[in-house]
Structure 1
Amino acid sequence: MRQDSVDRMLQEWEATDPALDASPLAVVGRLLLCAGHLERAIVAALAPLELSFGDFNVINTLRRRDEPEGTHPSQLASSALITSGAMTARLDRLERAGLIERRPDRDDRRAVRVLLTADGAQLAERALTAVLAADEAFLAPLSPRRRSQLAALLKPLLLGSEDG
C-alpha cells in the first residue's frame, strides 16, 4: 500500500521515540493536511473570479440566506467566524466592487442590512460552481458510499468541537 506523508511521520516518531503514542496524528495530521490542500484548491478556483475565500463566504452566505430585507453584518461576521471590524472591511471592499449594498434597517435606524446586488448574485453563483468543482475534484478518490461514511465519521468530531 502506498504511503502518505503522515505514514512517514509516524514511522519517524516510532524510530525516534518508540514510547510516544503518536497515533492521533494518523487522523488529525491527515485532517489538517487535507484541509490545507483543499483550501489551496478553493483559493485557486476563486482566483480567476478575483474573489478571496472570505469574500466568497460572505456573498454565498447572503445568497444562501436569501433574506429579502438583507442580513445584519453581525450575523455575517458570526457565520464567517471573524470580528465585526474584519467584516466591516470585507463589506467595504465588496461594496466598492458593486457586489453588495447596505441599506438602513427598517426596524432599527442605527442598523444596516446587507444585500447582494444583481452582479453580486451572479458572481456568487459562478463562484459556488467553481468551489463545488474543486470540492468534487478533491473528493474524486472516494466513492459516494465512502463519502457518506466519511461525513458520518467526521460529524461527531465537528459536533464535539461546536458544542465546546
Structure 2
Amino acid sequence: MPQDVDSVASPSDADADAVDLIVGQWRGERPDLDPSPMHVVGRITRLHWALDERLCRVFERYDLGRGEFDMLATLRRSGAPFELTAGELRGSTMVTSGAVTKRVDRLERAGLVNRRAAEDDARGRLIRLTDRGRELIDEAVEQHVRNETRLLAGLTADERSALTDLLRKLGQTLPSE
C-alpha cells in the first residue's frame, strides 16, 4: 500500500480543513480503502473552484468571460501583429472550433478583434486584436496578474517555486486517457 499522507503530516485540529474531515470520514466508513489521494486531488479541486471564482471577477470588470479573456490574451502574447489563425487560437486555448467561432463573433461585435481572409488560403481566417482590444487586454492582464499575486500572497517565494515544480511534475505524470 502507498505511503499514507496522514502518516507524513497530520494537521492539528486547528489546521484541519474540509478535506481532512472527508478523508477521516472515509477512513471510518471504509477502513479497507486508502483515501489519502483525496488530500491532494480534493484540495486541487476545491482550489480550482475558489480560484476560478476570484479570477472571473477581474474578467467580468471588462465584460469578458474566461474564454474571451484567454483569446485576447493569446492574441496579445503572440506578439505583433497580434494575429493568429482560428486553428492557432484553438490550439492555444484548447477549445473546439465552434467555441472559437462563438468567442470571436462576440469579441468582433465588441470591437476587440477583427477577421480577415488569409492571403494564402481563401477559406482561412486570421483573427487580429484591434487597437481597442489591445488596450483592453493590456489593462485586464495587469489587473489579472495583480489579482493572482494577491491570491498567492500566503505563500513565500520558495513555497511558490516548490508548488510550481510539483504541479508541473503532476501535470507531466498524469496518465493519458
Aligned mates of 1:62, 1:163 — CA distance in 2: 29
Query: Pick from 39, 45, 51: which aligns with 1:38?
Result: 51
Q: Which has the higher strand share?
A: 2
- Runs of 4+ more than 3 Å apart: 161-164
Aligned CA distance change for structure 1 residues 95 and 132 (closer, same or farther; 3 Å): same
Give me the TM-score of the superposition, normalised by structure 1: 0.94
Q: Which runs of 5+ in 2 are unaligned?
A: 1-11
Query: Pick from 80, 100, 105: which aligns with 2:118?
Result: 105
Return the offset for 1:65: 0.7
Aligned mates of 1:133, 1:32 — CA distance in 2: 23
Q: Which has the higher helix share?
A: 1
Return the offset for 1:101: 0.6
Please say if residues 103 and 114 of structure 1, whose CA atoms lie closer than 8 Å, have aligned partners that are also in contact.
Answer: yes
Aligned CA distance change for structure 1 residues 152 and 103 (closer, same or farther; 3 Å): same
- In structure 2, the residue matched to 1:59 is 72
Q: CA RMSD, aligned part only? A: 1.6
Aligned mates of 2:114, 2:46 — CA distance in 1: 37
Query: Pairwise mapping of residues 70-89 of structure 1 onto structure 2 (< 5 A)?
Result: 70-89=83-102
- In structure 2, the residue matched to 1:120 is 133
Name the aligned partner's letter for residue 148 of structure 2: D
Aligned mates of 1:22, 1:45 — CA distance in 2: 36
The alignment partner of 2:81 has SS state of: coil
The alignment partner of 1:68 has SS state of: coil
Percent identity reads: 35
Aligned CA distance change for structure 1 residues 103 and 162 (closer, same or farther; 3 Å): farther
The alignment partner of 1:82 has SS state of: coil
Return the offset for 1:160: 2.8
Please say if residues 43 and 53 of structure 1, whose CA atoms lie closer than 8 Å, have aligned partners that are also in contact.
Answer: yes
Aligned mates of 2:133, 2:99 — CA distance in 1: 20
Please say if residues 73 and 112 of structure 1, whose CA atoms lie closer than 8 Å, have aligned partners that are also in contact.
Answer: yes
Aligned CA distance change for structure 1 residues 162 and 126 (closer, same or farther; 3 Å): farther
Q: Which stretch shows the higher mean deviation, 65-74 or 48-57? A: 65-74
Aligned mates of 1:87, 1:150 — CA distance in 2: 32
Aligned mates of 1:91, 1:55 — CA distance in 2: 8
For this pair of structures, how many residues does the alignment match?
Answer: 164
Higher relative contact order (CA 8 A, sep 6+): 1
- In structure 2, the residue matched to 1:94 is 107
- In structure 2, the residue matched to 1:146 is 159
| Structure with max Cα Rg | 2
